[in-house]
Structure 1
Amino acid sequence: MVCMPLSSCPAPCSVSLADVTVDCGNGTVSLKWTVSRLSNVDPNLCLLGHCLPTSTSVWPGGEQEVSFYVRLDDCYFRRMVTRSQLIYLNELTYTSVPGSGPSFSHPVMCIYERPDGWAPPLYSPVWSVHSYSGLDFFMGIMKDDFSSPAESTTFPLGALIPLWAGVHQAAHLPLLLLLEECVASTTPELDPSGQVFPIITNGGCFLDSKMGKSRFQPRAQTSEIKLFLQAFKFALGLDVYIHCKLVAWDPQSMDVGKKACHYSKQLQRWELLDDPSQNALCNCCESECRHRKRRSLASGTSCLPL
């Protein structure tokens, strides 16, 4: 196998090939970026594709190291196939804080010999899945345009907080990502003794959309969900954590227990994000949503510190 880290930076960008090391493994990529103690950059603002760093470290001399360890079928790696090679392409990007130095883009390439008889995988067009496991879920606080992670997790009262969640589908057929439950709490782990404020309940009812300006955003793809959460008065003076239960679901089988509903103040009714013709699924948001018992394809939990 061959690994080729490339560099493409607008002047005056201080990153060099020596700063970035890439190891292309068997289906995985390990990337490390070393930041000089004299560099005025924050490695936590770095992304590989859409993936956040796996870890960051500070060495005794003041140098910082940001590390990624990801799969080739994750982080928006693009695959090119030639007669003799499999080529995977991505970009390491850094978005700087205004006044702190330049942003840059650092292309990354991994080249493998194409195995004899290898062909792109083909999938049956018939949905015949009963269950899945091992899916990876992600959630983060984003900039207003959802282009990259937020530079701060501190928001004034009434501000709209952009939240993004996604599930990595890998070779699965399309999955619908849903937020089944979300609460705000004063602890990084849900504790009965801590303060808790419900945000999304009843299998996907965005309660705060009725009380404030919070709202789901139109989907770009079924495996992601975006929303604006209006910062509310809760646990003043304390750290606040957003806990969510994420569910990957069959897009054709939404029910009252698996949905994404928000309240339209203009129409004065609850609306289903994905299919307004099924708004009736949201009618229970004012009471209790009872649904038939059916196992989801996969689920996960996430906690975001604010």
Structure 2
Amino acid sequence: MPQAPASPPFVPGMPQVPALSSVAATCDENMVHVQVKKDLFGSGELIQASDISLGGCGVTGEDSVAQLLYFQSYLQACGSQVVMTNDSLVYSFSLTYIPRAISDTSAPIVRTSGAVIGIECHYLRLHNVSSNALQPAWIPYAATKTAEELLVFSLKLMTDDWKFERPSNIYYMGDLIHFEASVKQYNHVPLRVFVDTCVVTAVPDAAAAPSYLFIQNHGCLVDSKLTGSSSRFLPRTQDFKLQFQLEAFRFQQGDTGSLFITCLLKATAAASPTDAEHKACSFVGHKWAGAGGEDQLCSCCDGSCGSRKARDLTSVSGMWTWHPFFRPLSVCADYTF
């Protein structure tokens, strides 16, 4: 259930705090709904819709008669933070009020204080112990699925220096979005991970339109060739990890700034040779290059990279695939201050 912060005791000189009854929130399986009274502080001063946001996202509805403002967001959008405990997932949001100076007078003054209100959604974790793909009602921050072979795939957003998982999913046009795909092995031979395909959509449906398939043809990252961007795979340094970057963009028509990314990850035994269906290729310097030095395998990226002959998938411990559904990204049109 959403939790509202307790009001601190009154101390002379302390700023105003919102009344507890001024904010209400409900959480469903994949969204949070927030209702805010325009008389946020219970003082009779009504706030402006443009002065309050949910993690950077603006008001989605307003009732001028009841003097209410409404927000609606996916759990993974609007600057949410997620914490995993032993038995639950907790999504946290910040409802931020920053009053602007009164614009219809000559005095640059405000009559309300700023405020930040915490909102949380709690969900019990479901543990998957079967070999079937996990189909969650919520979209996990870094989705995982454990197979019978005790393999765990993940796809994470990383910081600019690639050292840490990125806490925010908000980007601006032209920013580089850093991804790290990985596979963990338990009681298994060493593995090598690949990103077979990645598609971007404006809604949480990989088959929806518009869409942009920026990794295709079994590991060909085509964005840099199509748009001249700096999107690419980084040189591989560890078999069980693969890093790549995508230059942030927005869809031209009907764009809300939200991007949903669905990727297909593959893993093979590290001892298996790479081939046309298991590679990581980028278009750099007007030519295709492999993240692991397999440049010759990337020549098919301009055509079709299907296998030329049937392969024995049971050799060298076989091959494993999994579809992780990644949380949405928010791409802003420009910097605002």
**TM score, norm. by length of structure 1:** 0.55
3-state SS in 2 of match to 1:200? strand
- Partner Cα separation in structure 1 for residue 273 and residue 148 of structure 2: 15
CA deviations 1:121-175 (Å, max 9, x no partner) are xxxxxxxxxx984522111112112222223212111110011111111121111
Opposite residue 233 of structure 2, the aligned amino acid is F
3-state SS in 2 of match to 1:137? strand
Q: Which of 258, 269, 277 is 2:278 aligned to? A: 258
Q: Aligned-pair distance for 1:57?
A: 6.6
1:205 counterpart = 2:220: yes
Within 5 Å, give how 1:50-199 maps onto structure 2. 55-56=89-90, 133-191=149-207, 193-199=208-214
CA change 1:132–1:221 in 2 (3 A) is: farther
Contact 1:132 1:298 (C-alpha < 8 Å) held by counterparts:
no
3-state SS in 1 of match to 2:251? coil
Q: Aligned-pair distance for 1:64?
A: 8.3
Q: Aligned-pair distance for 1:47?
A: 8.1
Counterpart of 1:234 in structure 2 is 251
Within 5 Å, give how 1:21-32 maps onto structure 2. none
Q: Aligned-pair distance for 1:43?
A: 10
- Partner Cα separation in structure 2 for residue 139 and residue 241 of structure 1: 13
Q: Which of 265, 272, 285 is 1:246 aligned to? A: 265
CA change 1:47–1:228 in 2 (3 A) is: farther
Opposite residue 213 of structure 1, the aligned amino acid is S
Compute the RMSD of aligned alpha carbons.
3.4
1:300 counterpart = 2:322: yes
Q: Aligned-pair distance for 1:232?
A: 2.4
CA change 1:199–1:215 in 2 (3 A) is: same
Contact 1:44 1:53 (C-alpha < 8 Å) held by counterparts:
no
Structure 2's unaligned 5+ residue stretches are 1-78, 93-117, 128-146, 330-337
The structure with the larger Rg is: 2
| Count of residue pairs brought into register by the alignment | 196
Contact 1:185 1:197 (C-alpha < 8 Å) held by counterparts:
yes
Contact 1:262 1:270 (C-alpha < 8 Å) held by counterparts:
yes
- Partner Cα separation in structure 2 for residue 255 and residue 293 of structure 1: 12
CA change 1:134–1:141 in 2 (3 A) is: same
CA change 1:47–1:216 in 2 (3 A) is: farther
CA deviations 1:77-97 (Å, max 9, x no partner) are xxxxxxxxxxxxxxxxxxxxx
- Partner Cα separation in structure 2 for residue 54 and residue 285 of structure 1: 43
- Partner Cα separation in structure 2 for residue 248 and residue 132 of structure 1: 14
Contact 1:205 1:261 (C-alpha < 8 Å) held by counterparts:
yes
- Partner Cα separation in structure 2 for residue 200 and residue 261 of structure 1: 9
Contact 1:44 1:66 (C-alpha < 8 Å) held by counterparts:
no
Contact 1:132 1:297 (C-alpha < 8 Å) held by counterparts:
no
- Partner Cα separation in structure 2 for residue 300 and residue 187 of structure 1: 21
Opposite residue 272 of structure 1, the aligned amino acid is G
- Partner Cα separation in structure 1 for residue 289 and residue 88 of structure 2: 37
What is the identity percentage for the equivalent residue pairs of Structure 1 and Structure 2?
28
Q: Aligned-pair distance for 1:225?
A: 1.0
Contact 1:165 1:225 (C-alpha < 8 Å) held by counterparts:
yes
Q: Aligned-pair distance for 1:259?
A: 0.5
- Partner Cα separation in structure 2 for residue 300 and residue 222 of structure 1: 17
Q: Aligned-pair distance for 1:234?
A: 1.9
Q: Aligned-pair distance for 1:273?
A: 0.8
- Partner Cα separation in structure 1 for residue 324 and residue 171 of structure 2: 20
Q: Which of 281, 291, 312 is 1:273 aligned to? A: 291
Contact 1:201 1:207 (C-alpha < 8 Å) held by counterparts:
yes
- Partner Cα separation in structure 2 for residue 66 and residue 196 of structure 1: 30
3-state SS in 2 of match to 1:155? strand
CA change 1:283–1:238 in 2 (3 A) is: same
Q: Which of 202, 210, 219 is 2:236 aligned to? A: 219
**TM score, norm. by length of structure 2:** 0.51
